[in-house]
Amino acid sequence: MFSPYFSEQMPAIYREINQHYPIDGFFTNGWPSTGPLHVCYCEACRRLYDKLGGTPPADTDASNTLYRKYYQAYMDRVLEIWRLWDGIAREKDPQSVYVGNLGGGIDTVKDIKEISQAAAWFNADHQGRAGETPIWNCAQQGRVAQSVMAGRTITNVSGAYSNTQPVWRHVSKAPAELNLWLAQTTASGMVPWFHWLGGSPEDNRWREVGRSFFDWHASNEPHFRNRGSLADLAVLYPQRTVAFYSRGRGSSRYRGGPVDHLQGLYYALLEGRFVFDFVHEGNLDAANLQKYRALLIPNAAFLSDAQCEAIRQYVKNGGSLLATFETSRYNEWGEPRADFQLADVFGAHAAGEVIGPQGNTYSRIEMQHPVLRGFDGTALLPGAEAHIPVKAEAPLVLSVVPWYPAFPPEMVYPRTPRTTEHAAVFRKAGKSRIAFFPSDVDRTCWRSGNADLSQLIQNAVKWVRGDDPAISISGEGIIEVFAWKTEPGYALHLLNYTNPNMTHGAIRRIYPLGRQQVRFRVQDRAIKVVRGLRLGAHLVFKQQGHTVSFDVPSVTDYEVIALQ
């Protein structure tokens, strides 16, 4: 990274190629990636370590001051090299471009906001999924990239081969899985890039998948030229927390890692059919937030003072907020604060250290509240695995029932059946509604798959957002929704994840959904045509004021409804 290989040898190769061939740009596979930093022991890198004051630790560890210095030096070097190579690519033709390789989905260590300052083009190398990775992982990649690219080009490489664990480079991925991956690419506003290795394939089944998807895409291309998202909810993408929080303590990539909080919220948002964007924590300013009715924060434990202030101002200006667990408890490097930096916004102060993780804790329903709709027939809800004791002024809606043994059966009875400790704080301030869960309710929801916890999160999101959403879709099924303002009008993208292989690949066949009823608020135009682009048919619709209503008769794997 710090050797002249990057600053001299590579530029010489680019210039030689540029001199001899009429090419449009350069792409480097594998560099810089969004994953953890590497520590190299060559002479050039050692010279940097001397300047930093020692060799950095091999593992990600933001509590180590040497790691912090190395992280900044590494990010600076990525930007320096990216800009150098991009400048060389443009020497012959200013339209040429250098593109690095990114990707990594929602699990990033390198700061993608910083990288986006140099990147004219975000290439995501996010080719497929393995193990317990949920199917929506590609859409998440699109959201992460959108959160920093502000309308600039994003591509995603889809592997046509079986890039599972184990991997098979030379047999096709199941067509249903591959189609849904390509569909997520275009639904989330990325450009599809289809990929096979080797010049003499003996398995040709992938070709038809690519041919039909790209033919369809080409014949509808203007509807994929997006001009902005129509989402009314923002989910904070907590870069530093994802990068540093609990990493290195034996955490695995998708279960038990720092992305679990985000995954739990995400799953609940899919179940509730909410329309949302990711907002990167580096873009938390009034201009970026004002279009959203609420900001949802899945345990952004590591936030700078300035980021907290931006959230505070957003709420002061009438925005609503949902936050969980240790949000704002630490600064951007993970140094603990005496209290949540956002305690005044939450209406709750930390009154102790984290308790847990442990099972068999509960929340007791103490009073009626819109967030508790649908929980008839029970006084208890499942509690989160970990929580922080808080002091709050708000009325007690849900109280903490502390842990008691789940085994052996003879010992299963509550030692303290009732407390006055808040399991959640719901309050109003001016036009804003604030829901704060001082617990890892989102992570527990993801790990356990508990339906009550998902319902609780969905109810809280509905309460902070308020009634009359920009877009509502009713019908059966687990779907993901994207809504874009496009060059010709608007496009509503529906992805059907309703499948036994939703959280464990690969999807073998699609189970089509029945009728979906849509209400879609347009901004300032009379709609003349509503058309299902996969269906290849016009849809009957009604427009009343700004609201367009129509039924989508069915959704196979993917439907795009264009409104013009």
Question: Site residues (CB under 5 A) for Zn ion?
Answer: 40, 42, 45
Q: What is the smallest separation between the CB atom of 468 and Zn ion, expressed in angstroms?
A: 57
Q: What is the smallest separation between the CB atom of 70 and Zn ion, expressed in angstroms?
A: 12
Q: What is the smallest separation between the CB atom of 3 and Zn ion, expressed in angstroms?
A: 5
Amino acid at 423: A
CA distance 136 to 407: 36
User: Of 58 and 411, which has the nearer Cβ to Zn ion?
Assistant: 58
173, 159 Cβ separation under 8 angstroms: yes
User: Of 67 and 224, which has the nearer Cβ to Zn ion?
Assistant: 67
CA distance 424 to 367: 12
370, 331 Cβ separation under 8 angstroms: no
Task: Give the number of other CB atoms < 10 A from CB of residue 80.
Answer: 13
User: Of 45 and 75, which has the nearer Cβ to Zn ion?
Assistant: 45
**DSSP states along 224-278:** G-EEEE--SEEEEE-HHHHHHTTTTSS--SSSSSTTHHHHHHHHHHHHTT--EEE
User: Of 44 and 394, which has the nearer Cβ to Zn ion?
Assistant: 44
Q: What is the smallest separation between the CB atom of 39 and Zn ion, expressed in angstroms?
A: 9
Taken in order 436, 440, 442, 448, is the CA torsion positive or negative? negative
Q: In sequence order, what are the residues at sequence separation of 6 or more whose Cβ sits closer than 8 angstroms to the Cβ of residue 515?
A: 475, 551, 552, 553, 554
Q: What is the smallest separation between the CB atom of 44 and Zn ion, expressed in angstroms?
A: 5
User: Of 69 and 291, which has the nearer Cβ to Zn ion?
Assistant: 69
User: Of 2 and 224, which has the nearer Cβ to Zn ion?
Assistant: 2
SS3 135: coil
Pair of tokens at residue 27: 């792409």
Q: What is each CA distance from 343 to 198, 199, 339, 433, 439, in whole angstroms?
A: 57, 60, 7, 15, 14
Bridge partners (DSSP) listed for residue 548: 520, 543
User: Of 38 and 525, which has the nearer Cβ to Zn ion?
Assistant: 38
Q: What is the smallest separation between the CB atom of 111 and Zn ion, expressed in angstroms?
A: 21
User: Of 23 and 42, which has the nearer Cβ to Zn ion?
Assistant: 42
Kindly state the DSSP code that residue 36 receives in the 8-state scheme: P
User: Of 17 and 42, which has the nearer Cβ to Zn ion?
Assistant: 42
Helix (H) / strand (E) containing 48? helix 43-52
Q: What is the smallest separation between the CB atom of 52 and Zn ion, expressed in angstroms?
A: 13
Give phi and psi for 281, each to the nearest 5: -60, -20
Q: What is each CA distance from 333 to 62, 69, 275, 323, 444, in whole angstroms?
A: 6, 11, 31, 20, 25
Find how far residue 100's CA is from the centre of its chain: 21
Q: What is the smallest separation between the CB atom of 494 and Zn ion, expressed in angstroms?
A: 48
User: Of 40 and 354, which has the nearer Cβ to Zn ion?
Assistant: 40
Q: What is the smallest separation between the CB atom of 108 and Zn ion, expressed in angstroms?
A: 22
Nearest to 361, CA basis, from 444, 481, 485: 444
SS3 510: coil
Query: In terms of DSSP H, where are the helices of 302-409?
Result: 305-316, 343-346
Q: What is the smallest separation between the CB atom of 43 and Zn ion, expressed in angstroms?
A: 8
Q: What is the smallest separation between the CB atom of 28 and Zn ion, expressed in angstroms?
A: 17
User: Of 40 and 539, which has the nearer Cβ to Zn ion?
Assistant: 40
CA distance 356 to 387: 7
Taken in order 441, 446, 447, 451, is the CA torsion positive or negative? positive
SS3 138: helix
User: Of 77 and 521, which has the nearer Cβ to Zn ion?
Assistant: 77
315, 309 Cβ separation under 8 angstroms: no
Q: What is the smallest separation between the CB atom of 51 and Zn ion, expressed in angstroms?
A: 14
Nearest to 505, CA basis, from 165, 259, 263, 254: 165
User: Of 5 and 511, which has the nearer Cβ to Zn ion?
Assistant: 5
3-state SS string for 74-97: HHHHHHHHHHHHHHHHCCCCCCCE
Q: What is the smallest separation between the CB atom of 13 and Zn ion, expressed in angstroms?
A: 18
User: Of 45 and 527, which has the nearer Cβ to Zn ion?
Assistant: 45
Amino acid at 185: T
Q: What is the smallest separation between the CB atom of 551 and Zn ion, expressed in angstroms?
A: 60
